[in-house]
Every structure is written in structure tokens, then in C-alpha cells.
Amino acid sequence: MTNLARGLVRPRRTHKWTWMRIFLEFLKYFIVITLAISYAFPLYWMISSALKDDPQIYRVPPVLIPHPMHWNNFIDAWRADEFTLYTFNSVFRYALPNTAFTVISSAIVAYGFARVRWHGRDQLFFLCVSTMMIPYTVTMVPLFIIFKKLGWVGTYNPMVVPALFGNAFFIFLLRQFFMTLPEELSDAARVDGASELGILFRIILPLSKPALAVVALFQFMGTWNDYIGPLIYINKYELYPLALGIQKLRTALSQVGNAPMAYPYLMAVSTIASAPIIILFFFAQRTFIEGISLTGLKG
């Protein structure tokens, strides 16, 4: 084949591959957009249902855009029970203490596994990580018996005090991050006479803000949405967190007299309860993603 013939054939092949690339790009974005809509639609349905009245909820075909929008559902649903008290319990009695204790304790333990050399360290770390394979349903009854013997049932102690001893997954996560930091920083601090705790709090933790943010966000989300823990240990209405408060509202609205507005009120309260997590992730997503990407698998 002459050079002239090759020059005539090549543009057709390039043209063919160009259309193939365009099709693959279109297919990729179509799949991504479809999955994004499928994940976002339940959130949209919750918010739109909170703005409907009862006839719009059960209309067939479904009403996607409420008309008219009943914005007063949020205020009426919030006033239907002591949700301000439930929010206070969720934030200040459960989520914030649990998150703070978990971050501090997990960081200390992870530093001991990552930077301090001692006999049996790797074996104990393996044992610590192995506890993640034990389902909560296996330990639920023994833990309840222990906490009942201690007289902690009916308080937040069974859910907050264990956070002082770290979380196996977060210990693993922070250990892997600590091992990516240069050893020379710790060695230089030891030469200057710094203690291990001094090295941790003055050098390691300031460099580990992305990983600590990931741990804090995960733990706060877990405690904010926790239902089974308060259901087991909290038996007083004045101590209910938001999760139990929503369940209490559902039970109350299921009565005959309040049944017509049960679904819109539940969706309204659920939207308000979900808002802090969505807002928190929106503002912390850059730090969150950075922490995930920087947390390697070294060691």
C-alpha cells in the first residue's frame, strides 16, 4: 500500500474512534446522572412530602411538586412534641460527647500502634482490628446485662462511656494515616526532650486534621442517626434523642384522631433532623474527601 493510500484510510479510522469516544463519554455521564438521580430522589420525596397535605400524599399518579405547599407543616410537626428537648439530648448529651471522646481516645491508641515500639504491638493491633468482625447483635445482650448491673440503664452512660476506649475502625484508620507521616519529625522532637503525648498533641495531631475530621464526621453521623442504642438504654421520655422522638411522634400520630396528617408531619420532622448532617457534610466535604484520599494502607 502506498503512502498516499495510507493517508486516505487513516482519517476514517480516526473518525470512527472519535465517535466511539463520544458515545462512551455520553454513556458514562448518562449512568452517573441516572445513579445520582436515583440516590437523590428519596431525599427529594421526603422534602416534597413534608410540604403536602394528606390528599396529595396518597394521590395516584404521585404528586411530585406539591401544590399548594404547606410550609406550616414544619412548625406544626415540631410543636407536636418536645423536639427541642430531643434535639438538645441528641447534640449535647449524646453526639458531641461521644464524638469528642471517640476522636481523642482513638487518636491516642492509634498513635501507640503506629509510632511507639513495644512488645506484642502488632499482635494486639490484630486483635483490636478483629473485633470489627463481631456483630453488635452478639454483644448486645451481654453489654446490657453489664450496664444494668452498673445501674447505667436509663442514662447515656452506656453509649458515651465506651467511647473513652476508642473505636476499632477509627483506630485502624488513624494508625494508617499516622504511619504516612515522616518519622524524622517524631525523632527530632524526642531529641529535644518531648514526651510521647507531647509529640502526639503538638506534632502529629496538627498534621492529621483531615483524618481527624473524617473520624469526627463519621462518628457524629453515627450517633446522630443511632436508634438501636437509645432504644435499648433510654427509658425516659425526657431523655429521648431525635431518633426516638420521631418514633414517638409516629406512634402518637397513628391514633385515629391524628392519622390524617401522620405522613406529612413525619416527613417534616425527618427533614429537619436530616438537615444538620447534610449541611455539615456540605461544608466539610473537601476536608472529608482529603482525609479519605490521604489515609493510605501502609503497614
Report how many domains make up the chain.
2
Percent of the chain with pLDDT over 90: 44
pLDDT at residue 232, rounded to an integer: 94
The string of pLDDT tens digits covering residues 13-51 is 556 668 888 888 889 999 999 999 998 899 999 999 899
User: Do 39 and 96 lie in a common domain?
Assistant: no
The string of pLDDT tens digits covering residues 87-140 is 999 999 999 999 999 999 999 999 999 988 889 888 999 999 999 999 988 999
CATH number at residue 166: 1.10.3720.10
User: Do 147 and 277 lie in a common domain?
Assistant: yes
User: Do 260 and 193 lie in a common domain?
Assistant: yes
Taking alpha carbons only, the member of 66, 47, 92, 87 closest to residue 270 is 47
User: Do 123 and 41 lie in a common domain?
Assistant: no
Domain encompassing residue 130? 81-294
Cα–Cα distance for residue pair 28/18, rounded to 1 Å: 15
Has residue 67 been placed in a domain? no
Q: Which three cell numbers stand for residue 112?
A: 501507640
User: Do 180 and 252 lie in a common domain?
Assistant: yes
User: Do 214 and 126 lie in a common domain?
Assistant: yes
Query: Which of the two residues, 257 and 154, has the higher pLDDT score?
Result: 154
Cα–Cα distance for residue pair 119/124, rounded to 1 Å: 10
